[in-house]
Chains A and B, each alone.
Chain A
């Protein structure tokens, strides 16, 4: 089944304890991206990647890092989490190729992170 898989789905952590949210897709998509969803603010892009070793900042990158060493994986790293990073996080991928599914972002199921 074509999908984007995120882990963990739920996590409660404490301020300053480094954590990584993994994201993997099995659709051979070039483009991958991370979003966070917050009440009243909607969905905002954190980072994106056009392909392997090609990452760049989105609208709210502060406090986050990403890497793209393999096409299928795009982990989100919080080096020193703070309470304002408590949020629902989504990873997504898409392909720019032509066709009915082109440019449709497929989202993972979401990772709910709480930083105490």
Chain B
């Protein structure tokens, strides 16, 4: 069974602070995908990043960066110089790799972290 744990239920920061959202996952698969999605107050789910399990290179996109460590089953997300518009619920998710066996490549989500960035 797959499981994603986001231990931080809520985080509150002041604008321009850096903030890291933690994600720990469990899976028996050797290959898989990891994702981060953002859910702003308007409610839609916005894709941020996909990471293959065999690619441990960290990634940076503007103020966003992701640290994937397979040895500790973690895929943490850092926002540098946070802004009010970053306020949202952030979800980490895990998906089986095609060909892993079975037919349901569902996304297994963590419970999410509510990030509030105050001006």
Contact = CB atoms under 8 A, between A and B. Distances in A.
B47 A45 contact: no
Contacts of B103: 50, 56
A33 B37 CA distance: 16
Contacts of B90: none
Q: Is the interface of B mostly helix, strand, loop or mixed?
A: loop
Contact of B45 (A58, A59, A90, A112): A90
Contacts of A96: 98, 105
Given A103-B98, A104-B50, A110 B43 contact: yes
Most buried by B among A94, A104, A108: A104
A90 B47 CA distance: 14
Instruction: Bin the interface of chain A by size.
Output: 20 to 34
A48 interface: yes
Nearest to B6: A42
Interface of A: 31, 33, 35, 40, 42-43, 45, 48, 50, 56, 58-59, 88, 90, 92, 94, 96, 103-110, 112
Interface of B: 33, 35, 37, 43-45, 47, 50, 91, 95, 97-98, 103-107, 109-112
Given A42-B91, A45-B106, A96-B98, 17 more contacts: A42-B109, A42-B110, A42-B112, A43-B109, A45-B107, A88-B43, A92-B45, A103-B33, A104-B47, A105-B95, A105-B107, A106-B47, A107-B44, A109-B43, A109-B44, A110-B44, A110-B45
